[in-house]
């Protein structure tokens, strides 16, 4: 089985370990063995070292990458920010002067960056290495008839010149749509598909501006798709959709019930029959009704004799 280094980041293992558990459940079934990157730290997040000093950013990122290099594996991240930060740091380290300076820092902790491990996003591994057909073949429940609005998130899309895997058109992403369609669900287009959800630095700097951007996105989803659920492959987008819909509802700024939101591998784990208490149990918005719908008897896919 192909091994890949599971880079966890911060939000997934610390705040939403049910997402981490969904990775650990689905990947081995689909032929990929995630291995732990012991002692890995924050990527580091945009608001930390990248906001102070370029070489310190590169040193902390490349320390994480060396943990994968030592095991001879590539890296798979579930968090878009981690994907962006690690990919960009690796890109900066193509500059030989910078690489020399950063390796001098790493030498103080007995490490050397070689650049031998590639950085992938969970969505890339699912779409490019595993493929939609294998996903469909491993379903226990068909999601036919369910309507999903997808949210790819920013840092898996731009800038295309630093990423290992890219969308054909990053302003019109299709990978997550195709992954969701592999479960049998319908994934309608909406006009703000490539729009930012407002999480990240914007939310911590000015929550009202962040909510303004988010409102435009969520209203576009509701009015144009009337989706049953929202599915994302970004853990930051997940947090924004899950915590900010109830805020807008409470303030009377939206007039519909918050739409249940899942990280894609949570949805897939549910469709593959895994226990919702393990793979989809932490959220502000009550997801129990849609989980029951997903794992209902009449969706069971009959085994072909």
Partner 1 sequence: MIVDQNKINEAVSTVVGYGGEHILNCVQCGACSAVCPGVKAGFPLLCRHLIRSLLNGNLEEIIEDSSSWGCQACNRCTEVCPQGVRPQEVVFAFRRYQANQLAFSTSSVTSQMNLFETGHAVYTDPREARKKVGLPEETPTSAFDEQAKKEIQTLINNSPMGALGLF
Q: Which residues bind partner 1 (CB under 8 A)?
A: 8, 10-11, 13-15, 17-18, 20-21, 24, 36-42, 44-56, 59-60, 63, 81, 84, 105-106, 108-109, 111, 154-155, 157-160, 170, 195-196, 198, 200-202, 204-206, 209-210, 212-213, 277-279, 281-282
- Of 92, 94, 93, 86, nearest to 124 by C-alpha is 86
For residues 105 and 293, which CB has a smaller minimum distance to partner 1 in the complex? 105
The three-point CA angle 301-4-233 to 5° equals 60
- Least spacing, CB of residue 185 vs partner 1, in Å: 24
Q: Do 83 and 77 form a contact (C-beta atoms < 8 A)?
A: yes
- Of 59, 61, 63, nearest to 45 by C-alpha is 61
For residues 150 and 279, which CB has a smaller minimum distance to partner 1 in the complex? 279
The three-point CA angle 278-292-14 to 5° equals 25
For residues 145 and 212, which CB has a smaller minimum distance to partner 1 in the complex? 212
- Least spacing, CB of residue 138 vs partner 1, in Å: 20
- Least spacing, CB of residue 174 vs partner 1, in Å: 17
- Least spacing, CB of residue 158 vs partner 1, in Å: 4
For residues 282 and 289, which CB has a smaller minimum distance to partner 1 in the complex? 282
First to last CA, the chain: 27
Q: Which residue's entry shows tokens 């980041």?
A: 9
For residues 1 and 109, which CB has a smaller minimum distance to partner 1 in the complex? 109
Distance (Å, whole) CA 302 – CA 140: 8
Between the CA atoms of 16, 201, 123 and 19, what dihedral angle is there, to the nearest 10 degrees? 0
- Least spacing, CB of residue 280 vs partner 1, in Å: 9
- Least spacing, CB of residue 130 vs partner 1, in Å: 23
Count the neighbouring beta carbons within 10 Å of the beta carbon of residue 52.
10
For residues 104 and 289, which CB has a smaller minimum distance to partner 1 in the complex? 104
């Amino acid at each position: 089985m192909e091994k890949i280094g599971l880079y966890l980041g911060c939000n997934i293992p610390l705040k939403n370990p049910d997402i981490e558990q969904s990775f650990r459940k689905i990947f081995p079934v689909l032929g990929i063995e995630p291995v732990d990157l012991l002692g890995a730290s924050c990527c580091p997040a945009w608001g930390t070292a990248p906001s102070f000093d370029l070489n310190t950013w590169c040193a902390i990122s490349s320390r994480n990458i060396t943990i994968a290099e030592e095991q001879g594996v590539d890296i798979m991240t579930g968090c878009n920010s981690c994907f962006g930060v690690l990919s960009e740091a690796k890109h900066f380290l193509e500059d030989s002067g910078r690489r020399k300076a950063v390796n001098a820092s790493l030498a103080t902790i007995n490490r050397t960056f070689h650049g031998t491990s590639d950085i992938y996003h969970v969505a890339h591994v699912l779409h490019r290495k595993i493929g939609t057909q294998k996903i469909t073949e491993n379903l226990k429940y068909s999601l036919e008839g369910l309507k999903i609005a997808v949210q790819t998130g920013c840092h898996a899309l731009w800038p295309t010149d630093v990423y290992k895997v890219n969308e054909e058109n990053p302003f019109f992403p299709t990978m997550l749509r195709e992954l969701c369609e592999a479960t049998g669900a319908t994934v309608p287009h909406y006009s703000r598909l490539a729009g930012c959800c407002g999480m990240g630095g914007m939310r911590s700097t000015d929550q009202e501006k962040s909510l303004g951007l988010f409102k435009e996105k969520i209203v576009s989803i509701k009015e144009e798709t009337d989706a049953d659920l929202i599915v994302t492959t970004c853990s930051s987008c997940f947090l924004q959709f899950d915590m900010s819909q109830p805020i807008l509802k409470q303030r009377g700024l939206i007039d519909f019930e918050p739409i249940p939101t899942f990280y894609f591998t949570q949805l897939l784990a549910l469709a593959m029959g895994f226990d919702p208490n393990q793979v989809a149990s932490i959220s502000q918005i009550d997801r129990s009704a849609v989980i029951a719908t997903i794992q209902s008897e009449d969706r069971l896919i009959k085994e072909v004799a």
